[in-house]
Amino acid sequence: MVTALVTGGTSGIGAAFARTFAERGDNLVLVARDQARLDETAASLRHAFGVEVETVSADLANRDDVVRVADILGRADAPIDVLVNNAGFGIHTPLLAEDTTPHELALNVMGRAVLMLGAAAGRSMRSRGTGTIINISSTAGYITMGSYSAIKAWVTSYTEGLAVELAGSGVQVTALCPGWVHTEFHERAGIRESSIPGFLWIDVDELVAECLSDVAKGKVISIPSARFKFLMLFARHLPRSTIRAISGRISSSRAH
């Protein structure tokens, strides 16, 4: 029986991964801050799919809470077979803001927690010779929209480095780099959906299905949809000055 641990597992991409795993009959460990929402999500998945769902209330900006989750990933009894490092949020704060707290919080949740949980899972899975680590990055990491882009660029590079260290161990490591996905993430981030061309949006369940297909093929970087594969091919080869100009145009689409 496979057990998957999903951070940020009660909403957006994390919830879609949790639902997909439950549909396959996999047991779950869901990590999020809101215990009430965790309980509601767990009850719904248990009822719909008859799987076991463990919940962990944790704030991944808090290092002690990250350590608690890392301990779960390292346990020998009831081992975790799949880790989805999904917890995250958008960042509006300018890089020049006097208050850098939002950036520090983002680095803790989408940087430090990913590092610590990936390390804990990687050690445990390597010792068993099997396992999967999926880090949710973003196509934003290929452009230059403030600290969110910088952090997601790190997540992708970190994932590649972790894949190098775990090569030949039986552990698959993949960075999922989505573009615009129909979830509540963009509403929370203050991005007007109407400002983004319709053809650029992807359904969240299609996103998860394509990612898991790429994982099964052993791909280290998963960029769902042919249109975003094409766009990121251009992004990797365009002059950086052009990328910065495009990034400025995209940033202007955010709601104020």
- The domains located in the chain, with CATH, are 3-251 (3.40.50.720)
Sequential pLDDT tens for the chain (256 residues): 899 999 999 999 999 999 999 999 999 999 999 999 999 999 999 999 999 999 999 999 999 999 999 999 999 999 999 999 999 999 989 999 999 999 999 999 999 999 999 999 999 999 999 999 999 999 887 877 789 999 999 999 999 999 999 999 999 999 999 875 545 544 554 555 454 555 465 889 999 999 999 999 999 999 986 666 656 665 676 677 776 776 677 666 554 4
Under DSSP, the state recorded for 200 is G
List, in order, residues 6 or more apart from 22 with CB less than 8 Å away: 28, 45, 48, 49, 51, 53
What is the per-residue pLDDT for 110?
97
Distance CA 4, CA 25 (A): 11
Q: Which residues are catalytic?
A: 148
List, in order, residues 6 or more apart from 138 with CB less than 8 Å away: 148, 149, 152, 155, 177, 178, 179
Q: What is the pTM of this model?
A: 0.87
Can you tell me which residue has the tokens 């992004």?
Answer: 235
Give me the torsion for CA of 103, 65, 42, 122, rounded to 10°.
90
